[in-house]
Amino acid sequence: MESMAIADRLQAQFPEEILKKDEFQGQVGICIRPGRVVDILRWLRDTDDLRMNHLRSLCGVDNARRKDPSLTRFEVVYNLYSIFHRHEIRVRAALTEDAPCIDSVVCLWTGANWLERETYDLMGIQFNGHPDLRRILLPEDWEGHPLRKEYPLKGRGEWVGMTDLLTQIKELDKYAFDPKKTDSRQRGPRLSNEEGGL
Amino acid sequence: MTATTRKTIECPVAGGDDNERYSLRMGPQHPATHGVLRVDLELDGETIIECTPQVGYLHRGFEKLAENRTYAQALILTDRLDYIAAMSNNVGYCVAVEKLLGISVPMRAQYIRTIVGEMSRLCSHLLWLATHALDIGAMTVFLYCFREREILIDLFEELCGARLTFSYPRIGGVRQDVTARFINELERFLHLFPSKIEEYETLIDTNRIWLKRTVGVGVVSGEEALALGLTGACLRGSGVDYDLRKHQPYDAYDQVEFEVPLGSDGDIYARYRCRMEEMHQSVRIIQQCIDQLPPGPIVGEDAPDLVMPNRAPARVEVGSSRYGTGLIRLIKEREVYLSGDTYVATEVPKGELGFYFISDGSNKPYRMHIRSPSFIHIGSLATIARGELIADLIANIGSLDVVLGESDR
């Protein structure tokens, strides 16, 4: 089925939820309200002649620097593909800046678990009903969400965990091997540099 | 003769009590995890009760970096994704950018990219077979595979001067044309290689130990694999016919004949057979591409600024109407950087590598999301390995064929 036809059927099914449709380079994207995202994706997955059973990718987008005024601050993008019918569609859920949260789709695709964790980690979007929403690529005590546009590319100082790590290393240094302090009778003869060793 | 001394070592022994659990942290420096993957295990005896993979040790922030680089500059980041098959990543990135910006690629460049993409698939599968067999205990296969992989890497060196990170495919074409010597050497390799695959198969295909370690282990059903998001040989081993080279052909894949091998059992052995058969198909594809290789340019007309300039740009006189570099001419003639978003995926050796681009009309991607197969495959490890033995976890990691550079990005 043509992607635009799928978009039209989706609009007929959920007229309240669809904000707009757009086509670019032959690919169709549908912008939706986030409220019933699970219902919409389940309908796309389970309807017989659509069967969008492959969740190709799930990612977050920060629209802070885009010129289009109709865009909300955040978006969560789902790329769906039907392996049986070989058609694809993109669903973009628009999220506001003050409450970037959306329902989790782990109940539909278990593989979405890590993708949602990654989106939470790098973009700071909350997923309601996610079984295990933790940071995944960054350390758990990391501050901020790097893929947001206000996050600088560099120059934010050290990671807070780094100071802890350095003090730990310094403490461990007292157990380090020091040839001067070692008892030579136990370790055997050891030549220093002046005596021509090594 | 001295009397033998006997030492007693006290060590915790699991078992007996049903509630006794044992926590084990495998990695990140464990050789069998193929990089810096850490797996936290909860064990009962040798049975895995809970398995939690931890990634992120190799996170370099490619998606953030790419937002601050031009499309041509971001190409080199893709080399560092799956460093075992860097050429495939380059091709995937270029195909995605070409779709986004509407750039056409000449036929010759498409064929060359198909050839190097399949060579890269052979490289990756050879390294997978070598390490996977080594993990399971078939040590001999390792050196056999590296023998042939070396020939391929030498060929890449002949082609573009690099052995690991190539950046040879460019947006709109390829960097350089192939030489006659390269084609000759490649044909010699193709003639020789099928017999070598049979050599590996005689070593392990019906080996009793290999069968015991792989048949019926790590079983994933087709529906389960789809829900987990598995792609590539891991999905095809479960019997789902999904290969992007057939479903959404790019480059020259719609011009050549090949088959997509499918398994049915979904176990480690089925995935192993799929990849072995894929190597035969890759040889077929490369041979057809060499036979059909058309003459012509290797770089598209409308993408001159995105490839390396072959001659020095002419000086632009002040006030003259001549434009020196291709970049200025191009922007005058048409709006090259369109605004919009596309998701384009290609079939790399590990599975489906997708690039989701948002362009806002500037020369840098506004957002680049990489759908990396390894990340999703490691995410599925917890489901696959639960309830199996700890030794089978090693076999499962090998069989999923993950690369941590691609997973952590």
**In the prediction, which pLDDT does B322 show?**
45
Query: A17: which 2 tokens?
Result: 């939820």
Interface mutation vs chain B, best among A81, A108, A145, most B CBs within 10 Å: A81
In total, chain B counts a number of residues equal to: 409
Contacts of A122 in chain B (CB under 8 A): 63
Overall average pLDDT of the B85-107 stretch:
89
Question: Could you give the strand order of the β-sheet that contains B22-26, starting from the edge strand earlier in sequence?
Answer: B22-26, B38-44, B47-54
pLDDT digits (tens, 9 = 90+) for A85-143: 888 899 999 888 888 889 999 988 998 999 999 999 999 898 988 888 888 888 888 88
Helix or strand (DSSP H, E) at B107: helix B107-136
Q: At what angle do helices B390-400 and B373-385 cross, to 10 degrees?
A: 160
Contact A24/B229, CB-based, under 8 Å? no
Q: How far from chain centre, in Å, is Cα B184?
A: 26
Say if strands A27-32 and A88-95 run parallel, antiparallel, or are unpaired. Answer: parallel
Q: Is there a contact between B222 and A84 (Cβ–Cβ < 8 Å)?
A: no
* pLDDT average, residue stretch B96-108: 87
Which SS3 state, helix, strand or coil, does residue A16 take? coil
DSSP letters spanning A126-156:
EEET-TT---SSS-TT--S-TTSTTS-SS-S
Contacts of A114 in chain B (CB under 8 A): 375-376, 378-379
Does A67 contact chain B (CB < 8 Å)? yes
Query: Angle CA(B94)–CA(B99)–CA(B104) in degrees, nearest 5?
Result: 80
The residues facing A80 across adjacent strands are A55, A89
Q: Which residues of B259-280 are buried (b: 16+ CB within 10 A; e: fewer)?
A: ebbbbebbbbbbbbbbbbbbbe
Cα B32 to its chain centre, rounded Å, is 18
Query: What's the pLDDT at B31?
Result: 67
CB contact (8 A) between residue A110 and residue B227:
yes
In this complex, is the C-beta atom of A168 within 8 Å of any C-beta atom belonging to chain B? no
CB contact under 8 A, A57 and B68: no
Q: Tell me what pLDDT residue A51 has.
A: 86
The rounded distance, in Å, linking the Cα atoms of B380 and B256 is 33
Closest CA to A103 of A161, A195, A40: A40
Provide the β-strand partners of residue A60. A76
Give the Cα separation of B67 and A57 in Å (integer). Answer: 19
CB proximity A3 to B under 8 Å? no
Q: What is the pLDDT of residue B167?
A: 86
CB contact at 8 A, B351 and B230: yes
Put simply, the answer to whether B409 touches A137 (Cβ < 8 Å) is: yes
User: Is the Cβ–Cβ distance between B75 and A156 less than 8 Å?
Assistant: no
Contacts of B281 (CB under 8 A, 6+ apart): B258, B259, B260, B261
What is residue B321's predicted lDDT score, i.e. its pLDDT? 46
Q: What pLDDT was estimated at residue B189?
A: 92
Give residues with Cβ within 8 angstroms of B330, minimum separation 6. B302, B303, B304, B305, B336
More confident residue, B151 or B4: B151
Q: What is the mean pLDDT of chain A?
A: 83
Can you give A85-121 as a three-state secondary structure string? Answer: CCCEEEEEEEECCCCCEEECCCCCCCCHHHHHHHHHH
Task: Give chain A's residues under pLDDT 70.
Answer: 155-156, 181-198
Give the residue numbers in B contacting A (CB under 8 Å), as ranges.
Answer: 55-56, 59, 61, 63-65, 68, 99-100, 102, 226-230, 240-242, 247-248, 338, 340-343, 345, 352, 354, 356, 358, 360, 366-367, 369, 371, 375-376, 378-380, 383, 408-409
Which amino acid makes up residue B345? A
pLDDT given for residue B16 in this prediction: 52
Query: Where does the pLDDT of residue B327 fall: very low under 50, low under 70, confident under 90, or very high at 90 and above?
Result: very low
Between chain A and chain B, the number of residue pairs with CB atoms below 8 A apart is: 100
Inter-chain CB proximity A83 and B371 less than 8 Å: no
The separation between CA B398 and the C-alpha centre of its own chain, rounded to angstroms, equals 14
* pLDDT tens for each residue of B283-319: 999 999 999 989 888 877 766 555 554 444 444 445 5
Contacts of B229 in chain A (CB under 8 A): 54-55, 109, 111-112, 115
DSSP letters for B133-162:
HHHHT--HHHHHHHHHHHHHHHHHHHHHS-
- Judged on CB neighbours under 10 Å (0-12, 13-18, 19+), B13 is exposed
Confidence of residue B325 (pLDDT cuts 50, 70, 90): very low
Question: Are the beta carbons of B272 and B400 closer than 8 angstroms?
Answer: no
Cross-chain Cβ contact A79/B352 below 8 Å: no
Check residues B44 and A61 and name the one with the higher pLDDT.
A61
Facing A66 at nearest CB: one of B55, B343, B366: B366
Q: What is the ipTM of this complex?
A: 0.80
Residues 17-36 of A with CB under 8 A from B: 22, 24-25, 27, 29
Contact A136 B247 (CB under 8 A): no
Question: What whole-number distance in Å separates Cα of residue A36 and Cα of residue A34?
Answer: 6
Q: Would you call B63 and A136 a contact, using CB atoms and an 8 Å cutoff? A: no
**What local confidence, expressed as pLDDT, does residue B112 receive?**
92
Query: C-alpha distances in angstroms, B288 versus A48, B106, B111, B125?
Result: 39, 18, 10, 20
DSSP 8-state secondary structure symbol assigned to residue B68? T
Contact A111 B380 (CB under 8 A): yes
For residue A165, what are its two tokens?
């790590």
Look at A90 and B341 and tell me if their CB atoms are within 8 Å.
yes
Q: Which residue of A has its CA nearest to B58?
A: A137
Residue B11 has pLDDT above 70, yes or no: no
What does the pLDDT read at residue B373? 92
Across the interface, of B56, B228, B240, the residue whose CB is closest to A111 is B228
Q: Check residue B305 and give its pLDDT.
A: 55
* pLDDT at position B12: 53
Task: Chain A: give the shortest CA distance to residue B134, in Å.
Answer: 29
pLDDT in tens, B116-161: 999 999 999 999 999 998 888 888 888 899 999 999 999 999 888 8
Contacts of B86 (CB under 8 A, 6+ apart): B78, B79, B80, B120, B164, B165, B166
Beta carbons within 10 angstroms of residue B201's beta carbon: 13
Taking the alpha carbons of B34, B38, B44, B49 in that order, is the dihedral positive or negative?
negative
Q: Which two tokens stand for residue B329?
A: 């001419």
B346: closest chain A residue by CA: A56
**pLDDT reported for residue A78:** 92
Q: A55, A4, A97: which is closest to B376 by C-alpha?
A: A55
Cβ neighbors of B196 (< 8 A, separation 6 or more) are B144, B148
Beta strand pairing call for A74-81 and A126-128: unpaired
- Please give the pLDDT value at position B306: 54
Cα B270 to the center of its chain, rounded Å: 19
Decide if B242 and A29 are in contact by the 8 Å CB cutoff.
no
* Burial of B348 per CB tally in 10 Å (0-12, 13-18, 19+): buried
pLDDT exceeds 70 at position B328: no
What span, in angstroms and rounded, lies between the C-alpha atoms of B347 and B354?
9
Amino acid identity at A41: L
Could you tell me if residue A117 is left (phi over 0), alpha (psi between -120 and 50 degrees) or otherwise beta?
alpha
Residues on chain A touching B360 (C-beta within 8 angstroms): 65-67
